[in-house]
Amino acid sequence: MIEVEMKIRGLMMDPTANTPIVILKDVVSDRMLPIWVGPYEANAIALEIEKSAPQRPMTHDLLRNLITQIGATVDRIVVTDLIENTFFAVIEMTIDGKRMMLDSRPSDAIALALRVDCPIFVNEEVINSSRNTIAAGDMDEDDDESEDAESDDEAPDADDDLFGDDDESEWPDDFDDDVSSDYKM
């Protein structure tokens, strides 16, 4: 299984469903992978991107603190699969010299990865099979994708139109490197 290292390119809102999207970008190419996430997970990701510290620990902070307290380390997270429009991920950890893999939603794994500063990987087959995979130069092309606003970490159904009738006006032509997130909390 070939895995591709990716970085968080940003957060944005799906203009049709008004649902947050995490954009992952391949570190060695222009390929990008959008993953629709829930509002709470998007907020947790945005807080960490912006380095805003809440007054009390959020769930992902609690998880990081627990992992640290039991002497484990998070080695990396991997988006492993895309089944029936739902993304799957694992958190790979080491505790007492033993490797452990925890099943996770990609949004939770990404929020944790930001907090522990570990790499994010995506299985090459997930990138290839996702009809939502985009190249930086293709961001204004017709995507024929959409999102069910009720679920997170799901890819849109192929029959839905993600950006309505005017695709080019909603999907940004390029991401500004100086802005880590367009998502507003």
Tell me the whole-structure pTM to 2 decimals. 0.75
**Cα separation, 77 vs 119, whole angstroms:** 7
Nearest CA to 103 out of 130, 127, 83 is that of 83
Which amino acid appears at position 85 of this protein? N
Domain boundaries along the sequence of the chain: 3-170
Contact 182, 15 (CB under 8 A): no
CATH superfamily assigned to domain 3-170: Bifunctional nuclease domain (3.10.690.10)
**From first to last of its 185 residues, what are the pLDDT tens digits of the chain?**
899 999 999 999 998 989 999 999 999 999 999 999 999 999 999 999 999 988 898 999 999 999 999 999 999 999 999 998 899 999 999 999 999 999 999 999 999 999 999 999 999 999 998 865 666 555 543 333 333 333 467 665 544 443 333 443 344 545 554 444 455 54
**CA-based diameter of the chain, in Å?**
54
Handedness of CA 173, 29, 82, 77 (dihedral sign): negative
Helices (H), 130-179: 167-170
